[in-house]
Structure 1
Amino acid sequence: MSDERWATPEEIGAARRRFEDAIPGYLPPMAHAIMLPGGDFARVNVGDGLLPAVILATLLGHAGGTASYPLDAATLDRAVAMLTPAEACTAMPHPNLAVWRWLHGTDGLTAVFLASLGESPDPAVGALTARLLAGREENPDGTTTLWRPVGPAELALIAESGYAAFPPRLPDQPIFYPVLTEDYAARIAAEWNVEASGSGHVTRFRVGTGFARRYPSRQAGGRDIAELWIPAEDVVELNAHLAGPIEVVSSF
């Protein structure tokens, strides 16, 4: 393994697939991280870091699902050796490799894999799940409140639906981005939508929490600036899980 060099993103992708194919029934995690002895996380990977994930899975006997595993220093060193060929590719960063090297010699680590954001009695799983749900307004009625800043064109389409649905994404819009706080939505509407299209509006809506938990919170510049990344093809399903109308709460 030490003689290998994966010098391009394509070679890294091929290496990842080889590791995945070697684990029967392997399913990449929604998120994964290494928990430090004090309970914090050195780095949280959400929908990325798939090569580091499968390397850890290979060493720890993980095939899929949600689980945590003790990670001793010797196993982490083996993981570093297995991931090192990837640094030959200078076209992309390698943050997990840097973190793993920084953790060299550390005892009491825990590798955590999440397949979903459900409840779990496992403390490490619960800690990572809580991290990825931080800042959400989950309501007692089983809904989650989200906000979305929109321009006048999108608002007109929402109005045409009777404030009952968000419009399909355009071809150059692969992701639908609702945000977790009204303040963040207002900042985008006032600073970006106004400049881009002359006006900006903040919408508020409630969606079933079970649906919302399919998408981990992603930081967009700080722990208080978070959003969900919902693929464009899931917007129809999002609309089916709306609880009540889409409301316009402010305009700029």
Structure 2
Amino acid sequence: MSELWDTEGKVLAALDRFEAALPGWVRPAAFGLGWEPGGEFAWARHDLGERPLAAVVLARVCGHAGGSASYRLTASDLDEAIASLAPAEACASLDHPDLWAWRPLRAALPEGEGVIAVFAADFAYAGGDRYVSALVAEAMGGREENADGTTTLWRPVGPAELAYVREHGSWPPRLPDQPIFYPVLNRAYAERIAREWNVPHSGTGYVTRFRVETRFLRRYPTRRAGGEDVLELWVPAEELGELNGHIVGEIEVVARFGEGDK
């Protein structure tokens, strides 16, 4: 390696250089790298709107500038991607999960076999590339999408937030130290938070259920915050008003824990 990017500033500078050198480059909503051991596709790693340096490094090797597509790469192509991204590992203040996934994949790759790089421009993909479809399916996993074009979400709340919801029929603006609104994707997870967080902090925890237009929600990938059922969406605070505008029906209370008003 001719240089090491041992600070976050150097990593960002490298990102700028790679992106400027790829004409027409548009960051993907998701990208991933997989292989087909025994003929069955498996992910080595996929990223959802994160790790732009790894995304552009992989895209440069593929010759990909934008849109949704998949590419078959040789072992030598994977070596090139690993070597291009490796200088970033000198920055100890950042994690490097793509490198840490690509290297074991390369080591396990049988002679003569390659890998598959996949890019999704957005999560509304309806084309025929099965690898892109698989990536989008990963991004949209764990959702209760209804036949009427809505998706059911859940949110645990305390008495103060519930009072606002009952008065306004929508979610309150986030506080300055709350940059993200976190609806969750299943009732069990919502109930756990209501019992374990809302009750100790405010005496009562409520679980709410509401529906949002599926087409709108598909801009937000599913985030796994722990176990298999610990699934949520991350909605930036500045987009919460827009989400409120796509709620269908009422925000209803479906469970209560602790003491307080019913």
Q: Which residue, out of 150, 154, 160, partners 2:157?
A: 150
Moved over 2 A (4+): 105-108
Alignment partner of 2:204: what SS? Answer: coil
Equivalent residue number for residue 45 of structure 1: 47
Say if 1:35 and 1:124, in contact at 8 Å, map to a contact too: no
AA of the residue aligned to 1:243 = V
Moved more, 100-109 or 138-147: 100-109
Aligned residue pairs: how many?
249
Q: How do residues 151-170 of structure 1 correspond to structure 2 at under 5 angstroms?
A: 151-161=158-168, 164-170=169-175
Q: Does 2:218 correspond to 1:213?
A: yes
Alignment partner of 1:171: what SS? Answer: coil
Equivalent residue number for residue 70 of structure 1: 72
Query: For 1:30 and 1:149, how far apart are their aligned partners in 2?
Result: 28
Query: For 1:171 and 1:17, how far apart are their aligned partners in 2?
Result: 30
AA of the residue aligned to 1:54 = V
Equivalent residue number for residue 18 of structure 1: 17
Query: For 1:222 and 1:14, how far apart are their aligned partners in 2?
Result: 35
Say if 1:73 and 1:104, in contact at 8 Å, map to a contact too: yes
Deviations 1:204-237 (A, max 9, x none): 1100001111000011112221111111111011
AA of the residue aligned to 1:239 = N
Give structure 2 stretches of 5+ with no counterpart: 258-262
AA of the residue aligned to 2:48 = V
Alignment partner of 2:67: what SS? Answer: coil
Moved more, 80-89 or 97-106: 97-106
Q: How do residues 1-252 of structure 1 correspond to structure 2 at under 5 angstroms?
A: 2-37=1-36, 38-104=40-106, 106=109, 107-118=113-124, 119-161=126-168, 164-252=169-257
Give the deviation of 1:201 after TM superposition. Answer: 0.9
Give structure 1 stretches of 5+ with no counterpart: none
Q: TM-score, normalised by structure 2?
A: 0.92
Query: For 1:225 and 1:39, how far apart are their aligned partners in 2?
Result: 25
Moved more, 73-82 or 4-13: 4-13
Query: For 1:175 and 1:133, how far apart are their aligned partners in 2?
Result: 19
Q: TM-score, normalised by structure 1?
A: 0.95
Query: For 2:193 and 2:143, how far apart are their aligned partners in 1?
Result: 18
Identity over aligned pairs, percent: 55
AA of the residue aligned to 2:20 = D
Alignment partner of 1:62: what SS? Answer: coil
